[in-house]
């Protein structure tokens, strides 16, 4: 069914998709400029809720992902505080040049495997987007809207950066949650700690998974090494 009037950017929703449909759509996105995403709780209701520039894609192209994260970074810590250890005084430096992992077969395979596992519990949407990282902006997703400084252009620039650096593919969108598969997660403690700081800047609630543990970037980094999924939840 077409949802263009009520959910901008969403072209179709398949409530009982064939398990192989996600794989076919994702494999064809370079030609079709339409991207699949699994929809969770209140995902459709979250579409269309955020303003975007007149030419949002030009705005993304002109946006530096590292500068966005540095702007969103909650530091520095106050005197005596260790909550942002080891990045107490500053945000991590800009990462060096890296291969673009987004087109690699492992990136596609990780997303397809995850979608196959959770697909029976989700609807499948087709979105007017040329890559998974662009989906929140394409649907004007409002899931992070309760954080006034978090704009969709900046969010999309960061997702594109992760897609290229780590093969991190946005697979599922909920009303307040994004879930990414990660084909090339950070392997060393140093790299993981820098990525942990990026996650804390990207999603302010990431330090508290509400399971009794409150993370610093250093302790959170231990959960990122070798992790095949990243989940971000805005309270």
| Predicted confidence (pLDDT) per residue in 135-146, tens digit | 999 999 998 867
Distance CA(181)–CA(168), nearest Å, equals 5
Distance CA(195)–CA(73), nearest Å, equals 12
pLDDT tens per residue, range 216-228? 999 999 999 999 9
pLDDT tens per residue, range 159-217? 999 999 999 999 999 999 999 999 999 999 999 999 999 999 999 888 876 676 789 99
Query: Looking at residues 101-128, what average pLDDT do you find?
Result: 93
Distance CA(20)–CA(42), nearest Å, equals 24
Distance CA(180)–CA(195), nearest Å, equals 14
pLDDT over 70 at 4, yes or no: no
CA-to-CA separations, 17 to 30, 145, 207, in angstroms, rounded? 21, 30, 35
Q: Map 143-179 to HEC letters.
A: CCCCCCCCCHHHHHHHHHHHHHHHCEEEEEECCCEEE
Its pTM stands at: 0.95
Domain ranges for the chain, please list them. Answer: 10-74+99-185+224-233
């Amino acid at each position: 069914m077409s949802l263009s009037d009520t959910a901008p950017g969403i072209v179709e929703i398949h409530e009982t998709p064939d398990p192989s449909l996600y794989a076919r759509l994702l494999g064809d996105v370079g030609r079709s400029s339409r991207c699949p995403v699994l929809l969770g709780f209140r995902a459709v209701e979250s579409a269309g809720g955020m303003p975007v520039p007149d030419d949002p894609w030009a705005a993304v192209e002109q946006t530096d992902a590292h500068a966005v994260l540095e702007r969103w970074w909650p530091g520095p810590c106050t005197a005596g505080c260790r909550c942002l250890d080891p990045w107490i005084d500053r945000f991590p430096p800009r990462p060096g040049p890296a291969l673009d992992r987004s087109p690699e077969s492992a990136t596609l395979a990780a997303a397809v495997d995850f979608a196959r596992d959770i697909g029976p519990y989700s609807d499948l949407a087709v979105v007017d987007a040329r890559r998974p990282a662009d989906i929140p902006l394409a649907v004007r997703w409002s899931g992070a809207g309760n954080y006034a400084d978090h704009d969709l252009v900046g969010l999309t620039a960061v997702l594109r950066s992760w897609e290229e650096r780590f093969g991190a593919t946005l697979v599922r969108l909920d009303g307040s949650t994004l879930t990414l598969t990660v084909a090339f997660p950070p392997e060393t403690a140093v790299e993981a700690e820098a990525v942990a700081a990026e996650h804390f800047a990207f999603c302010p609630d990431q330090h508290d998974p509400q399971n009794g543990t409150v993370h610093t970037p250093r302790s959170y980094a231990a959960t990122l090494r070798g992790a095949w999924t990243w989940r971000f939840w805005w309270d």
